[in-house]
A and B are shown apart, each in its own frame.
Chain A
Amino acid sequence: MSSASRRQFLKTMSALAGLTVLPSRSASGFGTANAFDMPLLRYDSPTWNSRPSAIRRLLIDVDMRTNIRVVQDPAVVRPTIDELFTSPMLAMTGDRAFPSFRDEEREALRRFLGAGGLWFVDSAEDRLDGGFRESMERELSALFPGETLRRLPSDHVVFQTYYLVDGAPGRVRVANHLDGLTLDGRTAVIYSHNDMMGAWARDRFGNPEFAVHPGGDRQREMATRLGVNLAMFALTLDYKEDQVHVPHILRRRRWRVD
């Protein structure tokens, strides 16, 4: 067995077994400085890290399933300029209301999103209009007055960046859609109602940490696929939408004559 196929075999077996084997790509090339990370936001709430294994587990899936190079250990960042600007991606989870960010934290988040950052917010409060949602809307209004979370259309590129995904599956299915906030034509904030991180979370042996309702394992898989799409969206933006136009662009220019 060649080294390549052996590595493939090991990766596949690791995935099947749910082992936290580090993919070879995560430690190769230029190292992890430019690799994909989804840092988790640490903020003033007892449940800021209620799904501690989720992002690590998603990154393993991203690495196994796609060509994206990922970090070995996802970071945890506070809403400060020094910590936010290590990666253009930011994740946040919560299940209850939280106090307002301080002014300097809001400034850091505003600057982060304005500079091209993507903020994924995952509600685990199992309801549409809980305290966490209200707190988030308060913060976004403070960051970008006049802007608000709006429902993302079902054909938004995030649902097709890698997998074709219907709806917004998570640990629960409170809503079948994602919300988002758009800045300068770019979706800068994506908000999930369904505790996607809860569906991603597995223990070190690969066992799911939370039961998924009502769809079971299929729903968990779909949540993972949407997570992979999120990572792909962060890195490729509207690339998949562009593909639709490629034949037209190629046809438009006649650069050869018979």
Chain B
Amino acid sequence: MDPTGTTHSESELLFTGTMAPGWLLVLAVAAVGILVLTWLDLRGMRGSRTATILALRAIVLGTLLVLLLEPAVELRDVRRVPNHVAVVVDQSESHGLEVGGRSGVERAADHVARMAPRIAAHDDHRLESFAFAAELQRVPAEVLSDGSLTADGDRTDILAALDGLTERFDRRDIGGVLLYSDGIDNGELGERTPRGEPLDASHRGRLEALGFPVHTMLTVPPEEVRDVAIERIRHEDFAFVRNAVSVEVDLRVLGYTSGTLPVSLHREGELLQTRVVTLSPDETRHTVRFEFVPELIGKELYTVEVPVLDGELVARNNRDAFVLRIIRDRIRVLHVVGRPGWDQRFLRELLTGNPNVDMVSFYILRSQSDVARAAQSELSLIAFPTDELFNEQLGSFDLVIFQNFTHVPYHMRQYLPNVARYVEGGGGFLMIGGEQSFASGGFAGTEVERILPVRLPSGGTLIDRAAFRPALTDAGQRHPITRVEFDARRNEETWDTLPELTGTNVVRGPAPGAVVLAHHPSRRGDGGMMPVVAVSDVGEGRSMAVTADSTWRWTFQQLGGGGSARPYNTFWGNAMRWLIRDPELNLLQVGIQQTAVRPGEEVRARVRVFRPDYAPAEEVTGRWEARFRDLSALGEEGELRDEGTFETDDRGVAEVLFVPDAPGAWTLRATVPQEDGETLVEEEIVLVRLDDREVRDLAPRRDLLEAIAEATGGTFTALPAGRDALPPLQPARVVDVDRRTFVMLWNHPFVLLALLLLLGVEWSLRRRWGRL
């Protein structure tokens, strides 16, 4: 057989004239006129004779009109070219899974082995063999028919494969496609029809425009698939701390129709919640919803797991993980004030002026001994909502401030343990002085004293009215709260020149583990000068004590003296940020923009180091290490996989790069030694995961393969097929081979002779019938 096809001749009648259609019309009308005049002239003659004469004359006139169109015949040689018939086999991972003892690849091989010889034997077609996963690739024909095709692709994109054919061949030269697949598509088509929806008009149009039939072969029997998979976890990329966040998990349960299935959510390996799904024969899709409250800012790794059942096709799709970036919403502050005063007024103005702060204030405007001299309806007062604040809503706040507030008149002692638990659980607590604060407020010996950074006297002098200027301790000179100026000397000078505070609550001394930032210049407490500003970590939370009620002078009088309110604003602003553990106050910060990467993909981390005064720490050397944890063992110490050193630039910034080589949880830990012998440590997590979409839903997609076949004019077959007929393919295309001849008809002598003959016959008949 000639591989380029067979040659033969074809002809075609053409008109080569250039006369304008208008003239042709005029001449045609004239011809009709001549015929009419002829008919009038022949009146009286027998009908048959008249018809004969008119017919001869009409033929002559018609022929003349046709000759004006200059007719010609084109003679050319053409050839039939065999088209391409593509056999395309899915080589994605799911197609290689054994279902019912055989894989889809093997079932496809059986069918290809029978179809290929028939295609190859046909003069009109040429067999082309391809495999595809994410994209199309040519493979030897025998690989498709002997079952040796390796199915390890991590994607299935049928549309990309069909588009790949049109890039290789002219659409007109594709006689058809035999597509073998399980239909589990995670490319465009699959993502548009995840739940068996009909193809949308756009994608259907793209398939129709291919111009060749796609005959689809379903290679995996759906009824034999048995698998439980976490198909998808629907979550936001970030959540707000102390705000409930919900996560939805889509499960695909195939082949298991009864019983229950526990679904568990874990945070950093610790079980958080479990939901139970009841299986049924009617439903293969299940959605479970988890709702929880992130407590800490930063990245958190969550895993969702379902147990592996007997006979499951794939076990690794029973677990999935995601990283949630926890950020802070607006800072929610509960400001409880026992008595309106200037200190509270200026602090309120500062806090409410911060657009990131949501203030919930409760001020005790009237005590039990006050006489309002008005009906309740004439007052704007509301009851102090003790239970709502300290029982129901306490946990919703980032920071609780007790300012000149005593719990005694409000019978609040029962709620004080709630306050302590709130702080130990991660909340911030600040107590500011006043005649109703600290020991004067009845807090000595209570649960609140336990979380305070100062110890309270149980009797004796509780208030010292003498004015004083607090002195910074060594810790206070470095601490972000009392470091109101970057420069250490200037910071000290600022504190030395701030307006005096007018009195203080008396405290015994710092609590164990507390850090005193500023102390009284002359008054002594246990083991040293009496603390005025002190802080401490309490469990997961933080607390702070300021024993004076006159820091408002640091803004009002400071401004009066021509100074700046900056020390006051910075002091309280930093105090608030420190109390709520604002990550921006960390002297060492590690940030990885990516939350999830593929194995082998480079992870780029940014390390920022600050000096105690929050100036960038230049040319500081630190160490980093990358540790790996398998998702099934998140509770364990990670395995050290990589390590190195870094040095900060003049912005205090260093970049750390590492390449995780295995799927799992990777933690980057940075450490920077401090001059005081302590070491700053900070960690950041990144999830390393394979692209495992192939195994997240193992239900064969008969519907999708049917839709593709229907849209392209092809046929659908579920293997094994009952018969082995070759699906209908497009015939070979006929092409010109560039040999053509034109034969002009209008100037041929035979035409002139025919005309003369016709005119002669007419003349002869007219003469015989006496009409000349």
Residues of A bordering B, CB below 8 Å: 4, 7-8, 11-12, 15, 28-31, 33-36, 64-69, 81, 84-85, 87-88, 111-112, 114-117, 160-164, 186, 221, 225, 232, 234-240, 242-243, 246, 249-250, 252-258
Contacts and interface: CB of A to CB of B under 8 A. Distances in A.
List the 5 closest pairs (A to B, CB-CB), nearest first. A29-B435, A85-B560, A33-B502, A115-B559, A255-B396
B556 A34 contact: no
23 contacts: A8-B369, A11-B371, A30-B435, A33-B503, A33-B550, A35-B341, A64-B370, A65-B372, A67-B365, A68-B339, A69-B339, A81-B561, A162-B366, A163-B378, A234-B345, A235-B344, A236-B340, A236-B348, A242-B361, A255-B242, A256-B293, A256-B396, A257-B291
Contacts of B1: none
Interface in B291-322: 291-293
A164 B378 contact: yes
B341 A235 contact: yes
Given A30-B502, A65-B373, A240-B380, 10 more contacts: A29-B435, A34-B342, A34-B552, A36-B342, A64-B370, A85-B560, A116-B349, A116-B559, A232-B365, A235-B342
Interface in B348-404: 348-349, 352, 358-361, 363-367, 369-374, 377-382, 388, 393, 395-396
Contacts of A34: 341-343, 502-503, 549-550, 552
A65 B371 contact: yes
Given A33-B502, A239-B348, A65 B396 contact: no
Contacts of A238: 352
Contacts of A11: 369, 371
A11 B502 CA distance: 28
Nearest to A246: B360
A30 B373 CA distance: 28
B299 to A, nearest CB: 20
Contacts of A36: 340-342
A168 B433 CA distance: 36
A132 to B, nearest CB: 26
B333 to A, nearest CB: 10
A11 B372 CA distance: 12
Contacts of A257: 244, 291-293
B555 interface: yes
Given A30-B463, A67-B339, A254 B243 contact: yes
B346 interface: yes
B562 to A, nearest CB: 8
A258 B436 CA distance: 37
A31 B503 contact: yes
A69 B364 CA distance: 12
A60 to B, nearest CB: 12
A36 to B, nearest CB: 7
Contact of B340 (A8, A232, A243): A232
Nearest to A114: B559
Contacts of A232: 340, 365
A80 to B, nearest CB: 10
B369 A236 contact: no
B329 interface: yes
Given A64-B370, A237-B345, A249-B358, A30 B340 contact: no
A148 to B, nearest CB: 24
A235 B345 contact: yes
B117 to A, nearest CB: 65
Contacts of A69: 339, 341, 435
Nearest to A242: B361
Contacts of B561: 81, 85
B183 interface: no
B342 A88 contact: yes
A145 B357 CA distance: 32
